[in-house]
């Protein structure tokens, strides 16, 4: 008999068919009686004072029901780091000042989309244009324009991490490298743009259908920004077409549609255009790094120092997290006897930078893994041996930072080494590069200041044995609906098809922090497992009496059979048991409750995934074009709940992070984004996809449900770092600034040729 009945099986997403056949309902599909269309007017200036807004022409356009400006708000500033008032700095609908091209200044609601669009064009805003700054290095200079009153040198957030004696550590090194790196920004490019339907009833209660990663955050932030009580705001999340960190905070569609609906008592729908999605939502945080790495001759790393300056854009957003996380993951997945990180986040007059799959870790990995290869070469060591020597280990403690229980990085390195050896000699201009990584399975620090458990679930069993599972988890395409249903079915001993999952509704699901930091499998999984266990306990208490078992034995349910665990033939049908227990409870459904909040598990996460990725590239020396041929990943995500789901995550990760390395980046001039459309922005298309391969690594994480950790975001971390290492191995040039464009490669090849000519030495 397998250890598990449900877990570990390849299960297609339970909502996959509905999505593939077009039956699945997204927020844009929500249509309510009397619904109006909303449109938002956005600033064309990166930095300007709002002197006057004349809405009279728009007000008088037939079909227009409302025009709102910042004056219609209660003047609160939004910030998801609620614990720190100074990080709540965004008005959403600006009252006095705009800080980037795309900042919202007014909005209308009209009977149809065309009229709303027309009305937006009729609003006249008088601006006083202010000097603007777009580069964080410029922004922190004394004479830079001040973006937020009272914020000196435009420094929004600083973060520091340190242990050991770094200066002493460097003194003990045989070799020290100092490098600078730059990681670009990136757009989320969700297939579904931000959109909301808000309906404020005459009962004073607001219902919002939103494309969100966290019903709970949206609920709380809406309540705050609108002057309502949380309980009077209900947020419903239909199917979501991607989030990647960009749908975590309260957005302009949610806030403005609600604001107008409250004014009119009519439902309002706002859907961002693709252009607005690029210019007026969030983006990945660009980071400048200066980093020193010191090691002994034998390859023992002794010290590392990382300094980072991030381009924060106009508002804090999730930037305080990103700034910390990029410092945190700069020491992953290796052991540093001493380590120091100093991070600075600078405001600029750009789109706010925030969370995007990996949350600062892909940037950190690009830097670390570049330097690991460079250091190995400097020391004449095999890059995998060098990594193995310094790899993190199970059951270790990073001072004040992390408690690591399971850690499969050594096995991952072995597997990848085996794969590379098997591959043998490559054709000319081909190269393989590796990158190691680690990632969190959820976040610990309570920056949102929630009074609730981080994750909670309720299990209800009906008389026919069918199970309704309620969680606040947010499936935004990553498959948590399937994973959590599997965990519930496994724990309760029923089949997957017995479970009907209910998520994405603050009114019917227990509060939960939502989908970010790869938290659903571990955190929600723990809550779901606990809720199922609570329901099972009630069944087994009754069964114990009925079966009259010896107290030293215990009972369990598997495959609809409640039985004595060590005498499985002695038992009772789950279905009979459910019927009898409901009867014994006065006809009430069986309800189980579960919650999970990490305790005593460090600063960042209760558990970490680990992995090593090897990518193979072909570089065309004539054009500089890099082709990503394959990506092979040994991923330690703990127990894999749904291997098919993990595979999907890997494919998606390679698609996304391959493009992050090679093709996706913002082009902008004076704060204006020039490639804000899918054609010019160039995400990977099907033809760009390499061969993707996953190597199984078995670990068991004590903190995770059935030993599981994460497979969503970690997989998206290593690719850019592995890419530059592979390119170096292919054609002998080192790219330290993303994106890795053909132009940069050609330039580097030319410089290399010049250098070789000059020195007569070939690399």
Chain residues binding a copy of itself by CB under 8 A are 14-18, 21-25, 29, 31-34, 199, 201-205, 229-232, 234, 265-267, 450-454, 456, 462-468, 470, 497-498, 500, 502, 505, 507-508, 510-511, 579, 582-583, 586-589, 591, 593, 595, 597
State both tokens at 719: 């690719």
Q: Which is nearer to a copy of itself, 184 or 478 (CB)?
A: 478
Comparison of 81 and 209: residue with beta carbon closer to a copy of itself: 209
Q: What percent of the chain is helix, strand and coil (3-state, nearest 5)? A: 35, 25, 40
Classify each residue of 188-208 as buried b or exposed e, where b means 16 or more C-beta atoms within 10 Å of its C-beta: bbbebbbbbbbbbeeeeebbb
Q: Look-up: residue for tokens 């330039």?
A: 747
**Least distance (Å) between residue 78 CB and a copy of itself:** 18
Q: How far is the CB of 400 from a copy of itself (least distance, A)?
A: 24
**In the complex, minimum distance from the CB of residue 497 to a copy of itself, in angstroms, rounded to a whole number:** 6
C-alpha to C-alpha distances, 668 to 353, 558, 676, nearest whole angstrom: 14, 58, 9
Which helix H or strand E contains 742, and what residues bound it? helix 742-759
Q: Which is nearer to a copy of itself, 34 or 565 (CB)?
A: 34
Cβ proximity to a copy of itself, 120 vs 581, nearer residue: 581
Residue identified by tokens 């007026």 is 280
Which one, 15 or 651, has the nearer CB to a copy of itself? 15
Rounded distance between C-alpha atoms, residue 69 and residue 41, angstroms = 9
CB of 267 or CB of 638, closer to a copy of itself? 267
Whether the upstream peptide bond of residue 554 has omega within 30° of 0, thus cis, is no
Helical H segments across 123-226, by residue range: 136-139, 166-171, 215-226
**Closer residue to a copy of itself in complex, CB, 300/508:** 508
β-pairing verdict for 626-636 and 36-42: unpaired
Nearer to a copy of itself, 12 or 145 (CB): 12
Contact (Cβ atoms closer than 8 angstroms) between residue 650 and residue 18: no
Nearer to a copy of itself, 369 or 595 (CB): 595
> What's the min distance (Å) between Cβ of 588 and a copy of itself?
5
342 backbone dihedrals φ, ψ, rounded to 5°: -130, 120
Closest approach, Cβ 265 to a copy of itself, in A, equals: 7
- CB of 89 vs a copy of itself, minimal distance in Å: 24
Count of CB atoms within 10 A of residue 52's CB? 8
Q: Whole-number minimum distance, CB 88 to a copy of itself, in Å?
A: 19
Sign of CA dihedral 144, 326, 158, 736: negative
Residue 15 or residue 118: which is nearer to a copy of itself going by CB? Answer: 15
Q: Whole-number minimum distance, CB 659 to a copy of itself, in Å? A: 29
Cβ 225 to a copy of itself, closest distance in Å?
Answer: 15
Q: Minimal distance in Å, beta carbon 243 to a copy of itself?
A: 20
Strand 124-129 to 48-54 pairing: antiparallel
**Chain centre to alpha carbon of residue 551:** 47
Give me the count of residues in the chain. Answer: 763
Q: How many helices (H) and strands (E) does the chain have?
A: 19, 32
Dihedral, 404, 410, 415, 416 alpha carbons, nearest 10: 90
Q: Which is nearer to a copy of itself, 229 or 753 (CB)?
A: 229
What is the distance between the alpha carbons of residues 600 and 709, in angstroms, rounded to a whole number? 17
- 392 close to 404: Cβ distance less than 8 angstroms: yes
As a whole number of Å, the end-to-end CA separation of the chain is 56
Query: CB 16 → a copy of itself: shortest distance, Å?
Result: 8
Structure tokens at 659: 């493009």
């Amino acid at each position: 008999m397998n250890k598990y009945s449900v877990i570990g099986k390849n299960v297609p997403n339970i909502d996959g068919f509905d999505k593939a056949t077009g039956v699945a309902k997204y927020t844009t599909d929500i249509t309510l009686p009397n619904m109006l269309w909303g449109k938002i007017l956005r600033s064309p200036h990166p930095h300007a004072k709002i002197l006057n807004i004349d809405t009279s022409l728009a007000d008088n356009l037939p079909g227009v029901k409302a025009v709102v400006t910042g004056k219609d708000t209660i003047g609160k500033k939004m910030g998801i780091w609620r614990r720190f008032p100074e990080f709540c700095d965004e008005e959403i609908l600006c009252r006095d000042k705009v800080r980037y091209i795309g900042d919202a200044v007014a909005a209308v609601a009209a009977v149809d989309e065309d009229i709303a669009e027309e009305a937006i064009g009729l609003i006249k805003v008088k601006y006083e244009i202010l000097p603007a700054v777009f580069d964080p290095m410029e922004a922190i200079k004394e004479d830079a324009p001040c973006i937020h009153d009272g914020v000196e040198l435009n420094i929004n957030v600083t973060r520091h991490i340190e242990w050991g004696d770094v200066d002493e550590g460097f003194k003990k090194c045989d070799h020290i490298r100092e490098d600078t790196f730059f990681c670009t920004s990136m757009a989320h490019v969700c297939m579904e743009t931000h959109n909301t339907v808000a309906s404020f009833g005459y009962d004073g209660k607001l219902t919002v259908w939103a494309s969100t990663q966290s019903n709970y955050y949206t609920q709380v932030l809406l309540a705050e920004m609108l002057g309502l009580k949380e309980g009077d705001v209900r947020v419903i999340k239909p199917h979501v077409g991607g989030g990647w960190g960009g749908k975590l905070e309260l957005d302009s569609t949610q806030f403005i549609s609600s604001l107008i609906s409250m004014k009119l008592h009519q439902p309002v729908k706002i859907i961002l255009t693709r252009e607005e999605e690029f210019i007026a939502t969030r983006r990945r945080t660009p980071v400048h790094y200066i980093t020193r790495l010191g090691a002994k001759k034998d390859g023992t790393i002794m010290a590392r120092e990382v300094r980072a300056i991030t381009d924060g854009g106009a508002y804090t957003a999730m930037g305080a997290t990103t700034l910390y996380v990029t410092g945190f993951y700069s020491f992953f997945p290796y052991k540093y006897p001493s380590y120091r990180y100093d991070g600075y986040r600078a405001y600029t007059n750009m789109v706010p930078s925030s969370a995007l799959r990996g949350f600062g870790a892909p940037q950190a990995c690009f830097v670390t893994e570049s330097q690991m290869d460079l250091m190995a070469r400097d020391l004449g060591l095999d890059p995998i041996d060098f990594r193995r020597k310094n790899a993190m280990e199970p059951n270790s403690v990073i001072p004040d930072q992390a408690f690591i229980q399971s850690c499969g990085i050594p096995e991952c390195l072995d597997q990848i080494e085996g794969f590379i050896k098997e591959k043998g000699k490559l054709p000319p201009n081909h190269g393989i590069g590796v990158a190691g990584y680690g990632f969190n399975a959820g976040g610990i620090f309570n920056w949102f200041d929630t009074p609730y458990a981080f994750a909670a679930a309720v299990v209800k069993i009906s008389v026919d044995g069918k199970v309704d599972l309620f969680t606040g988890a947010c499936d935004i395409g990553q498959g948590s609906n399937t994973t959590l249903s599997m965990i519930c079915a496994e724990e309760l001993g029923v089949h997957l098809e017995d479970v009907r999952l209910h998520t994405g509704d603050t009114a019917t699901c227990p509060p939960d922090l939502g989908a970010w930091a790869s938290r659903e499998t571990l955190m929600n999984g723990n809550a779901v497992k606990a809720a199922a266990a609570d329901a099972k306990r009630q069944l087994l208490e009754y069964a114990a009496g009925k079966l009259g078992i010896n107290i030293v034995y215990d009972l369990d349910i598997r495959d609809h059979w409640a039985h004595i665990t060590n005498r499985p033939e002695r038992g009772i049908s789950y279905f009979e048991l459910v019927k009898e227990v409901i009867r014994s409870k006065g006809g009430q459904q069986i309800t189980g409750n579960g919650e999970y909040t990490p305790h005593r598990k460090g600063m960042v996460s209760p558990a970490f995934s680990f992995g090593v990725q090897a990518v193979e590239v072909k570089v065309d020396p004539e054009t500089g074009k890099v082709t990503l041929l394959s990506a092979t990943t040994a991923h330690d995500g703990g127990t894999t709940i749904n291997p098919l789901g993990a595979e999907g995550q890997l494919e998606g990760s390679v698609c996304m992070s391959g493009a992050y390395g090679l093709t996706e980046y913002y082009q902008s001039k004076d704060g204006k984004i020039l490639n804000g459309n899918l054609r010019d922005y160039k995400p990977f298309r099907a033809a760009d996809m390499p061969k993707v391969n996953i190597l199984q690594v078995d670990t068991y994480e004590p903190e995770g449900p059935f030993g599981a950790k994460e497979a969503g975001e970690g997989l998206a971390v290593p690719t850019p770092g592995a890419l530059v290492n592979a390119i170096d191995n292919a054609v002998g040039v080192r790219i330290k600034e993303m994106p890795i464009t053909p132009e940069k490669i050609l330039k580097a090849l030319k410089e290399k040729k010049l250098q070789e000519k000059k020195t007569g030495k070939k690399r």
